[in-house]
Structure 1
Amino acid sequence: MNNWNETQPIFVQIRERLTDMILTASVKEGEALPSVRQIATDLSVNPLTVTKAYQSLVDLGVIEKRRGLGMFVAEGARKELLAHEREAFLKNEWPRIVKQIKALDLDFEELMRHADQ
């Protein structure tokens, strides 16, 4: 049974799992990713949901379809994903975090002390 975050579409959460697999090198560049059917079965979701997650990574250029073979991690995928995820973090999440840091009157040294815990 999966614990899906109800505030995000399931395909986005699957995409995040696939992204994590690439960023942590669980699946290396040039290697095959699990099939759509395998993921759909493992996660008990519709194969179209998994296909949508894969397509978003194809559109980003980090995975590639090989006809009759499946999905593979593209060369340079980790570097591309790092750049994309960093940009998304700085644009979408960082402003909210900075606002909260300021509201709580936290300073850099205090944040760094807690970062190591």
Structure 2
Amino acid sequence: MHSWNDQAPIYQQLADQLAAQLLDGDPPEGEALPSVRTLASRYVINPLTVSRALQALVDEGLLESRRGMGMYVRDGARIRLLRTEREQFLQEEWPRLREKLRRLGLTAKDLKWEDA
């Protein structure tokens, strides 16, 4: 079972989690996502919440609804998502992270980029 937090609405947390999976190529472009019912059961949430999360991904141009067939990953979704995520990281997360590293006195030499 997934644990949700109070930082954002559950539908947004689910949309973010599904987007992360899309970024990892799961499911691949052109393939279908699991049904709303399946996702609702998997994440133990209301199907309306799942529908709202999927609609958010449609609005972002990552998914498309095929009448009677479900939601499918759009061609180019991974590249679009990768660009957006990189931009967000560089604009929002990296400056905070860089400042924290500076405050802690850590340099690039202290960081391990590859798994040991």
Specify if TM > 0.5: yes
- The residue matched to 2:12 in structure 1 has which SS? helix
**Structure 1 runs not aligned, ≥5 long:** none
Residue 86 of structure 1, CA deviation: 0.9
What's the counterpart of residue 69 of structure 2? 69
1:115 equivalent in alignment to 2:92: no
Map 1:22-101; keep pairs closer than 5 Å: 22-101=22-101
Deviation string, structure 1 residues 43-71 (Cα, Å, up to 9, x no partner): 11111211121111111111101111110
Q: Which moved more, 1:79-88 or 1:41-50?
A: 41-50
Q: Which moved more, 1:13-22 or 1:94-103?
A: 13-22
- TM-score, with normalisation over the residues of structure 1? 0.88
Deviation string, structure 1 residues 26-57 (Cα, Å, up to 9, x no partner): 21111000111211122111112111211111
**1:19 & 1:99 partners in 2: Cα distance?**
28
**2:105 & 2:42 partners in 1: Cα distance?**
45
What's the counterpart of residue 8 of structure 2? 8
- The residue matched to 2:31 in structure 1 has which SS? coil
- The residue matched to 2:59 in structure 1 has which SS? helix
Residue 3 of structure 1, CA deviation: 2.1
- TM-score, with normalisation over the residues of structure 2? 0.88
1:103 equivalent in alignment to 2:103: yes
**2:31 & 2:10 partners in 1: Cα distance?**
24
**1:57 & 1:26 partners in 2: Cα distance?**
14
1:19 equivalent in alignment to 2:13: no
**1:60 & 1:10 partners in 2: Cα distance?**
17
**1:92 & 1:52 partners in 2: Cα distance?**
26
Taking every aligned residue pair, what percent have the same amino acid on both sides?
Answer: 46
Residue 84 of structure 1, CA deviation: 0.9
